[in-house]
Amino acid sequence: MESGLQALIAAAASFLIVTILVAFMIIICKRHEKPTHRSRANDRARARALSRGNTELSSITVDESASFDPNLRISMIELVIATKNFSADLIVGDGSFGLVYKAQLSGATVAVKKLDPDAFQGFREFQAEMETLEKLRHENIVKILGYCVSGSERLLVYEYMEKGSLDQWLQDASSENDTSAAAWPNSGVRLPLSWETRVKIAQGVANGLAYLHGLEEPIIHRDIKASNVLLDSKFEAHIADFGLARRVGESHSHVSTQVAGTMGYMPPEYREGLTMATVKADVYSFGVLLLEIATGMRPNLPAVVDGKEVVLVEWAKKMVAQNRQMEMLDANIMREELLEANVKKYFEIASSCISEISRDRPTMAKVVELLNQISG
C-alpha cells in the first residue's frame, strides 16, 4: 500500500514537472517569435513618433495609401514608376521638408511631394498637411489628390500647377521671353508679370486666406510666402504647403512654443518672444507678400533708402511716407495705362497689413474687399 502511494506521488510530480517545462518552452518560443512586417513597421513608426515627443500615433498607419480622386490609383509602386524612381529631372519644386516631382499617374499629370524622412518635423508635418488639405475645398487652395505611407517614406499627391510657383515668376523673369515659352517647369527665364496679373494673384491669395480664416475653426497657414503660392495655366493663385498650418478655436489663437514661418515674412511680435499663432500673423505675412509682388524684391534682402540699408518692410514704409509709390514698382512692370491711384491704393492696403500692432491689421475679408476695388 505504501509503495503504491509513493508511485502515485512520483507520477504526479513527474507530470507537474513536465507541464512546467512545456509551459516554459512555450513562453520562450513566443518571446523569440519573428514579428510580422506590419508589426515591425508599426514599432518603428511608434519609436519615431515617441522620439519626436508625440505621445500617441496618428490614425495614419504605416504602409497605407489613399486616393481622394476615383480616377487615380495611388500606391508606392505606382508613384515610384510615375516619378521614374524620383528622378532629379522631374523635380519641379522644393517645399518645406521635401521635394516636389512632376509625374504622370493614371493618365493625369500630378505633383508628388516626397517628404524628407530625416526631417525632424517630417512625421508631424505630413499629418498636418494631409489632414488639413483633405477637408479643404476652395478655388484658391491647392487640391490634394491622395497620399501614400510606406515605412519611413511619406508622399502627398496634388493637382499639378502648370505655371509653378509665384516666387519663380518674380525672381526668374526676363522681358526677352514670351508667355508661350514661359510655361512651368521650364528652367529658362520668364516673361515679367504685368501689373494686372500681379493684382489678380494678390486677390487670389487673399481670397484663399479669407476662406481659411473664415472657417468655423479658423486655419492659420503660418508660412505665407511667394514659394508657397502656386499658379495654374491662367495665373490663378493657389495656396500650398500646409505643413505648419494649425486649427484654432474660438480664441482665434494657437499656443505654440516654436516660432513658425520664414525670415522676412514673420510678424514683429515674434521678435518680442510672442509665439502664439494668430490669424493676424497670416495677415502680416500677406502684407509682405503684397510688397514682394509689386516690387519684385525679396523680403529678407536689404534695400537702400536715403543711403541706408533696410529690410523690405522698412524700405516700403519710408517710400510710402515720401509718396514715392510709383518708384517702388518692379522696373519690369509696363507703366502704360497704369493708374497711379490704384498703385497707391495697393500699397495702402499692404501698409495696413504690415502694421507693427497686430490688432491694427485688417481681417483678410476686409483685405479682399479692398483689393477688389483695384481694377488695374
Catalytic site positions: 223
Task: Please state, as a whole number, how many other Cβ atoms lie within 10 Å of the Cβ of residue 163.
Answer: 21
Nearest alpha carbon to residue 156 among 120, 106, 111: 111
Distance CA 184, CA 188 (A): 9
Q: Which residues pair with 238 in a beta bridge?
A: 230
Q: How far apart are CA 242 and CA 126, in angstroms?
A: 9
At 165, give phi and psi (nearest 5°): -95, 155
- Could you give the CA distance from residue 221 to residue 238 in angstroms, rounded to a whole number? 13
Q: Which amino acid is at 79?
A: L
- The Cβ of residue 127 has, within 10 Å, a number of other Cβ atoms equal to 18
Q: Is the peptide bond before 218 cis (omega within 30 degrees of 0)?
A: no
**Residue 357 has what DSSP assignment?**
S
d(CA 80, CA 9): 69
C-alpha cell at 242: 500646409
Distance, in Å, from the CA atom of 106 to the CA atom of 372, rounded to the nearest integer, reads 39
d(CA 264, CA 291): 11
Per the document, the length of the chain is 376
- Closest CA relative to residue 196, chosen from 298, 334, 324: 334
Element (H, E) at 352: helix 340-353
Strand partners, 247: 219
Which residues are within 8 A (CB) of 315 and not within 5 positions of it... i.e. 6 or more apart? 297, 303, 304, 305
What is the spatial distance between Cα 335 and Cα 316, in angstroms, rounded to a whole number? 19
